[in-house]
């Protein structure tokens, strides 16, 4: 009891939204002890962030709170504003999901850190404050802290911003006189709590690994407890001691981390864990049809399934040969040209010597008919640009893009348009890639009517088939995007993309914005649709596990270049290129035992100077 830093008992939070009461969380109880990492996991809307916000009294004004939050011996709900500020200044710190937005863009990093230091130690001189700020930046491993003090948040990368936010959160903890920050700055007597709300969600996987290690070091050195809010089971396995699983505002299970993964108690936890894609999991399970390069798609399921949009020539009257082509034996001498063939592609933006950047630098890649190729890489690697160039949405500065053997560039306008309609695209964010004023029906029938030349009733019928194929019934036709959940929206987007029976589908992070359980469903839909329609697909993702579960071949991009291409298992199990290796190693495994074992393995000391590490976006 004495070493209980945080006790939440029977917490109820609801929000008053324009006269209506919206439930936040109900009956939440758990506690955090000294030196303990407690993870609160759940999908969006589960109330985990609401719980975190209530700890520091940061809920918006329309929130109604009952129950008790006991933090460092004080009852948060009973404090007046001045006492609440005092509590926030004490040994509690909070870090947030979007680190770049969490810093004020118009003040230098040194100023923002300095003000927090001064808040805790009013009597420090300018120089002492500066020294303390340098110490803090050093503690979170920002290189050359003295010179970077003057920089503004936009001059740091996302990972560096998160380090700075962590530094701000712990700025009041140590004693400024303790000299070098490597000491355990204070005897372990003082309780300290770091609340981390999705601290790595907005970051690339290699950067995530670094931030997690910073968090772990801070916890060890400063003797802090951590309340970790996350949806990522890998992160939980990596860091947590105990786990609180939340769903729809309620706690469904509290368990030891190891036990939770080994023997989950609640059905929901089991489902959640099952939905998490794991690298290597599909090695034994039924692999996608294209494991060993045959390009024959699985034929449509038996009989004329009403949901099956199999009679493809109906909607592609201009190219009746295509479906036939795709169903011929690929081993036949006249094998069809690859669905997508990219040769020495260069895409560059900007003008002049200094302004010119190559987003894609001399990349060659092909996607055979009916094949799914995964394109992985971190933000800024050029994977999205490559996908865009394949549909003619990015300026091609060099090289060629062939779709079914035809060069987009060499064609007349009308031929190019015709070719383009054989390429479908699904984007990452279904909330913005669907027209909010178009009903689901209008969205799906638009390409059928305008590009496919179908009469409205036919288009309508076909739209119903397509919606059924993605798991939505005909009664969804009249709904609008804002009435749909994220997963439903993405299903609509997929239905629209395959409406014209494309030869090639470019899927750009189609499940990244979705919760894991929804992601699993959407991936299932995607898989069965691909098996039925047999389109080739360039599946762009940062998630190695998703790619592993779906793709036959994997291509890895890094800084505009293709560093490795090969069969899925070879690339992900035995990566040859050092970057691929780092990528694979950075992704935390949703299994605490294996993850711990991996972490114990000595890290390469040269890693800290690796130029490919999280680096500043500008100088």
Q: Which residues bind another protein (CB under 8 A)?
A: 56, 58, 81, 85-90, 93-94, 96, 98, 101-108, 115-116, 119, 152, 154, 165, 168-169, 171-172, 618
In this structure, what are the phi and psi dihedrals at residue 402, rounded to the nearest 5 degrees?
Answer: -110, 130
Nearer to another protein, 111 or 438 (CB): 111
Question: How is the beta sheet containing 225-230 ordered, strand by strand?
Answer: 92-95, 193-197, 225-230, 37-41, 242-247, 250-256
Q: Half-sphere exposure (CA, 13 Å, Cβ side) for 257? A: 24
Number of Cβ atoms within 10 Å of the Cβ of 68: 15
Question: How far is Cα 68 from Cα 28, in angstroms, rounded to an integer?
Answer: 10
Nearest distance from C-beta of residue 536 to another protein, angstroms: 41
Which H helix or E strand runs over 532?
helix 516-533
Question: How far is Cα 474 from Cα 180, in angstroms, rounded to an integer?
Answer: 66
Nearest distance from C-beta of residue 482 to another protein, angstroms: 20
Nearer to another protein, 351 or 413 (CB): 351
Q: Which two tokens stand for residue 299?
A: 């034929």
Nearest distance from C-beta of residue 60 to another protein, angstroms: 9
Q: 104 with 180: CB under 8 angstroms?
A: no
Nearest distance from C-beta of residue 559 to another protein, angstroms: 22
Nearer to another protein, 196 or 463 (CB): 196
Nearer to another protein, 161 or 562 (CB): 161
Nearest distance from C-beta of residue 229 to another protein, angstroms: 13
Nearer to another protein, 193 or 470 (CB): 193
Nearer to another protein, 84 or 411 (CB): 84
Nearer to another protein, 71 or 563 (CB): 71
Q: 398 exposed, middle or buried (CB, 10 Å; 0-12, 13-18, 19+)?
A: middle
Nearer to another protein, 94 or 212 (CB): 94
Q: 170 with 176: CB under 8 angstroms?
A: no
Q: 33 with 52: CB under 8 angstroms?
A: no
Nearest distance from C-beta of residue 54 to another protein, angstroms: 12
Question: How far is Cα 158 from Cα 135, in angstroms, rounded to an integer?
Answer: 21
Nearest distance from C-beta of residue 346 to another protein, angstroms: 26
Nearest distance from C-beta of residue 64 to another protein, angstroms: 18
Nearest distance from C-beta of residue 121 to another protein, angstroms: 13
- SS3 helix, strand, coil % of the chain, rounded to 5? 40, 20, 40
Q: 203 with 232: CB under 8 angstroms?
A: no
Q: 460 with 389: CB under 8 angstroms?
A: no
Q: 469 exposed, middle or buried (CB, 10 Å; 0-12, 13-18, 19+)?
A: buried
Question: How far is Cα 388 from Cα 396, in angstroms, rounded to an integer?
Answer: 10
**Which among 6, 56, 53 is positioned nearest to 25, based on CA atoms?**
53
Question: How far is Cα 63 from Cα 415, in angstroms, rounded to an integer?
Answer: 58
Nearer to another protein, 160 or 312 (CB): 160
Nearest distance from C-beta of residue 201 to another protein, angstroms: 13
Q: 307 with 469: CB under 8 angstroms?
A: yes
Nearest distance from C-beta of residue 85 to another protein, angstroms: 5
The DSSP call for residue 297 is P
Q: Which two tokens stand for residue 339?
A: 């669905």
- Map residue 79 onto helix, strand or coil: coil
Which residues have C-beta within 8 Å of that of residue 294, sequence separation ≥ 6? 330
Nearer to another protein, 147 or 284 (CB): 147
Which residues have C-beta within 8 Å of that of residue 331, sequence separation ≥ 6? none
Nearer to another protein, 96 or 535 (CB): 96
Helix axes 109-120, 126-139, angle to 10 degrees: 110
Nearer to another protein, 56 or 279 (CB): 56
Q: 26 with 250: CB under 8 angstroms?
A: yes
Nearer to another protein, 90 or 384 (CB): 90
| Strands (DSSP E) found in 450-495 | none
């Amino acid at each position: 009891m004495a070493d209980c830093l945080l006790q939440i008992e029977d917490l109820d939070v609801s929000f008053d939204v324009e006269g209506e009461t919206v439930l936040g969380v109900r009956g939440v109880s758990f506690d955090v002890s000294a030196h303990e990492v407690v993870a609160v996991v759940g999908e969006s809307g589960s109330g985990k962030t609401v719980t975190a916000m209530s700890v520091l009294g940061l809920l918006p004004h329309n929130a109604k709170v009952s129950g008790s939050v006991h933090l460092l011996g004080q009852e948060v709900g009973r404090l007046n504003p001045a006492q609440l500020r005092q509590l926030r200044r004490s040994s509690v710190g909070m870090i947030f999901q979007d680190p770049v937005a969490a810093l004020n863009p118009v003040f230098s990093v040194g100023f923002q850190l300095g003000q927090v230091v001064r808040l805790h130690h009013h009597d420090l001189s300018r120089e002492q404050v500066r020294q303390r700020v340098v110490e803090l930046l050093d503690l979170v491993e920002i290189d050359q802290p003295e010179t970077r003090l003057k920089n503004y948040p936009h001059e740091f990368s996302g990972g560096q911003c998160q380090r700075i936010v962590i530094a701000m959160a712990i700025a009041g903890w140590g004693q400024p006189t303790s000299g070098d920050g490597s000491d355990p700055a204070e005897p372990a007597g003082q309780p300290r709590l770091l609340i981390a709300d999705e601290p790595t969600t907005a970051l690339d996987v290699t950067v995530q690994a670094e931030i997690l290690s910073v968090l772990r070091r801070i916890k060890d050195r400063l003797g802090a407890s951590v309340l970790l809010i996350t949806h990522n089971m890998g992160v939980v396995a990596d860091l947590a001691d105990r786990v609180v699983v939340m769903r729809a505002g309620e706690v469904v299970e509290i368990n030891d981390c190891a036990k939770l993964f080994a023997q989950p108690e609640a059905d929901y936890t089991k489902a959640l864990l099952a939905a998490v894609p794991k690298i290597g999991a599909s090695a034994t399970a039924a692999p996608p049809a294209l494991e060993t390069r045959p390009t024959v798609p699985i034929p449509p399921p038996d009989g004329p399934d009403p949901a099956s949009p199999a009679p493809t020539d109906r909607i592609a009257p201009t190219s009746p040969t295509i479906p036939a082509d795709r169903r011929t034996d690929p081993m036949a001498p006249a094998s069809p040209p690859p669905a997508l063939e990219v040769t020495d592609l260069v895409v560059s933006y900007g003008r002049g010597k200094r302004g010119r950047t190559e987003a894609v630098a001399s990349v060659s890649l092909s996607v055979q008919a009916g094949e799914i190729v995964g394109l992985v890489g971190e933000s800024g690697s050029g994977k999205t640009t490559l996908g865009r160039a394949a549909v003619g949405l990015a300026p091609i500065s060099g090289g060629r893009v062939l779709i079914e053997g035809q060069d987009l560039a060499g064609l007349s306008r009308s031929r190019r348009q015709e070719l383009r309609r054989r390429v479908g695209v699904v984007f990452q964010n279904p909330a913005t890639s669907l027209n909010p004023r178009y009903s689901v029906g209008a969205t799906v029938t638009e390409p059928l009517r305008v590009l496919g030349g179908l009469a409205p009733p036919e288009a309508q019928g076909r739209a119903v088939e397509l919606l059924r194929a993605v798991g939505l019934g005909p009664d969804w036709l009249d709904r609008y995007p804002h009435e749909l959940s994220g997963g439903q929206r993405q299903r609509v987007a997929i239905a629209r993309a395959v409406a014209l029976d494309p030869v090639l589908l470019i899927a750009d992070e189609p499940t990244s914005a979705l919760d894991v359980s929804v992601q699993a469903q959407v991936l299932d839909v995607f898989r069965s649709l691909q098996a039925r329609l047999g389109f080739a697909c360039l599946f762009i993702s940062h998630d190695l596990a998703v790619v592993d579960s779906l793709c036959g071949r994997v291509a890895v991009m890094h800084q505009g270049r293709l560093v490795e291409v090969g069969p899925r298992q070879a690339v992900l199990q035995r990566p040859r290129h050092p970057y691929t290796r780092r990528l694979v190693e950075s992704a935390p495994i949703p299994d605490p035992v294996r993850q711990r074992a991996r972490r114990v393995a000595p890290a390469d000391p040269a890693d800290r100077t690796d130029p490919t590490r999280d680096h500043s976006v500008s100088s």
